[in-house]
Amino acid sequence: MKKEIKFSLVFRDMWQSAGKYVPRVDQLLKAAPAIIEMGCFARVETNGGGFEQVNLLFGENPNRAVRDWTKPFNDAGIQTHMLDRALNGLRMSPVPADVRKLFYKVKKAQGTDITRTFCGLNDIRNIAPSIVYAKEAGMISQAALSITHSPIHTVEYYTNMALELINLGADEICIKDMAGIGRPVSLGKIVGNIKAAHPDVIVQYHSHAGPGLNMASILEVCEAGCDYIDVGMEPLSWGTGHADLISVQAMLKDAGFQVPEINMEAYMRLRALIQEFMDDFLGLYISPKNRLMNSLLIGPGLPGGMMGSLMADLDANLESINKYKAKHNLPFMTQDQLLIKLFDEVAYVWPRVGYPPLVTPFSQYVKNLAMMNVIAMEKGKERWGMIADDIWDMILGKAGQLPGTLAPEIIEKAEREGRKFFVGDPQDNYPDDLDKYRKLMKENKWDVGQDDEELFEYAMHPAQYVAYKSGKAKEDFLADVEKKKKEKDKDPLEDAKPKTLTVQVDGQAYKVTVAYGEIDLPSSPTAAPLVDGVGKDVVSPLEGKFFLTKNAQEHALQVGDKVKEGDVLCYVEAMKTYNAIRAEFGGTVTAVCYNSGDAVSEDDVLMKIG
């Protein structure tokens, strides 16, 4: 009989690989007993990644969610683990060192045992402090290799990275095959090399099923000495998710490994609960296409964990493209056509921005760049017109060292815009911040919380935390659910009815009603400008949410403020990235047309400058 292989249920990632959200805390607590009673899990992924942001979007307290959700597993002796993004902590952008350090203290106090730390660039300088912070907090430090497939990312590359992380104090290594495009034999060699050098270091394998390689990969890494395998379960396994527990268990048992038995009665109970949660509201945010395997994913290498949100993003971007096509009497694009164009553009963009491993946040950055390029080109514009500041930070080296070299066209654009490349320690770019947030909480009369957990949450997710505290997040979430339900139940002829669009005439934005096909429109008054006021319009280049600032360091512009050409005026958050809207001309702000957190459409007037 071969060695024992243990299983970890990646419950958090199962949901976020399928759609936009994870279950609410009351739903999580309904699921916990069945997970425990299945009797086959040594570990459960309870939180991390976008988990906290999702709770804030619900209008729920993420700290309560983590404490309540981890407790049943702590009591049952099942280890809990979470995903963190090293320099980026639990968000898409870099985090000051004092916030990172508090992060581990808070998560340990809340009941999380293991932190799986990865850097989207595989820059060990970003992972090293997290190893120290996690161990100081009493957590197990599991350092991850972000697996991708390129001329740079070889077996030797990953072996050396793992050995260096172990020398820095990592307790365990995760082979994080986030897109499922790791080649099985190569992955087996990486695990074998780690085990040959450090036979007692635990290795855990995480992969996604989408491209269809991961069952072979699971068998190869187990033959090479892997200790834990991450699995999913129906109805959220396969597709953009993970290999199914039952299939993995059967395969490994046949190969002679010792594997735990599954309490199938509890399995079926949990399966029914997952379906119940999907029927409640979560399924509204899960594209049916995310259930499909797709070998096309091998080409772009986009991770399974991103595909859930990607399919939701496609809908909004497709609408934006087709609005343009409607105005210019061009044939509409289908979602499949947009998806193929996006995949082709990712393949174009990725090597030109230095082959960052396609994992959060850099998978989103590369995808967003590709999406913005596709949208621009479909509208008759050139590539690279919209690059968010966080993406520039990646390109310029502020987030870490890129594995490859930048294309000349990217370097020329950076130099043309006066942007400076950075070669130092990325953490140096993000000074300590906790005192500022502590002061703001005191001014707002907000409690810093048990173990400073509310302070941590505010400092980690400032914009989302403010929306949660004000009640706006919950209000927006409930409204969005109702909108999704109506869309699901609407008459198929609904799309043929008149629609309201925003158009510009001689530089002035108007709302007009249009219809597709031969439909009589009701008479309506002459279109009126959207915004009164003197000055030139600052319009949104894309659809998303409007924010005046993205952190506590920034000053929110008000009517009467002076601005210069190039100044950041506000942000439109789309596809998990804050896109800075900069002044194309100087002057005085005469109107701010939206409140922070409001949804905006492309070409909506955000401000006026006179």
Per-residue pLDDT tens for 57-67? 999 999 999 99
Parallel/antiparallel/unpaired status of strands 568-574 and 587-592: unpaired
Low-confidence winner among 43-47, 102-106, 193-197, 507-511 (lowest mean pLDDT): 507-511
Pairing of strands 508-514, 536-539: unpaired
SS3 190: helix
Helix (H, G, I), strand (E, B), or coil: what is residue 262?
coil
Worst-scoring range by mean pLDDT, 5-19, 73-87, 528-542? Answer: 528-542
Q: How far apart are CA 386 and CA 93, in angstroms?
A: 18
Q: Residue 414: pLDDT above 50?
A: yes
| pLDDT, position 487 | 82
Q: Does the pLDDT of residue 320 top 90, yes or no? A: no
Q: What is the pLDDT of residues 265-311, one digit of tens each?
A: 999 999 999 999 999 999 998 888 777 777 767 776 766 556 556 66
Confidence of residue 517 (pLDDT cuts 50, 70, 90): very low
- Asked whether the beta carbons of 240 and 232 are under 8 A apart, the reply is no
* CATH for the stretch 496-609: 2.40.50.100
CB 357 within 8 A of CB 119: no
Alpha helices in 490-586 (DSSP H): none
Percent of the chain residues past pLDDT 90, beyond the cut: 63
Q: What is the mean pLDDT of residues 421-431?
A: 93
Q: Rounded to whole angstroms, how far apart are CA atoms 476 and 467?
A: 10
Query: What is the spatial distance between Cα 42 and Cα 48, in angstroms, rounded to a whole number?
Result: 18
Of residues 575 and 78, more confidently modeled: 78
Higher pLDDT, 223 or 494: 223
Which one, of 109, 25, 24, 105, lies nearest residue 74 by Cα? 109
Angle, to 10 degrees, between the axis of helix 408-416 and the axis of helix 389-396?
Answer: 120
Spatial distance between the Cα atoms of 38 and 553, rounded to a whole number of angstroms: 48
pLDDT at 524 over 50: no
pLDDT of residue 529 exceeding 90, the answer is no
Residue 304: what pLDDT? Answer: 59
Confidence of residue 486 (pLDDT cuts 50, 70, 90): confident
Q: How far is CA 390 from the centre of its chain?
A: 14
The DSSP annotation for 423-446 comes to -S-GGGGS---HHHHHHHHHHTT-
- Give the mean model confidence (pLDDT) for residues 324-345: 87
**Sign of the torsion angle spanned by Cα atoms 25, 27, 28, 32:** positive
Q: Pick 40 or 365 by higher pLDDT.
A: 40
Alpha helices in 502-548 (DSSP H): none
| Cα 371 off chain centre by | 15
Residue type, 33: P
Domain 6-287 top-level CATH class: alpha beta
pTM of model > 0.85: no
- Exposure string over 134-158, b if 16+ CB within 10 A, otherwise e: bbebebbbbbbbbbbbbebbebeeb
pLDDT interval class at 520 (50, 70, 90): very low
Higher pLDDT, 133 or 518: 133
Q: Is the pLDDT of residue 163 over 60?
A: yes
More confident residue, 429 or 550: 429
Task: Tell me the one-letter amino acid at 73.
Answer: F
Q: Where are the domains of the chain?
A: 6-287, 496-609
Residue 550 has what pLDDT?
Answer: 82
Average pLDDT over residues 8-15: 96
pLDDT at residue 209, as a whole number: 92
Residues in contact with 480: Cβ distance below 8 Å, sequence separation at least 6, in sequence order: none
- What is the average per-residue pLDDT within 307-329? 76
pLDDT given for residue 531 in this prediction: 45
Question: Are domains 6-287 and 496-609 of this chain identical in fold?
Answer: no
Rounded (to 5) percent helix, strand, coil in the chain: 45, 15, 35
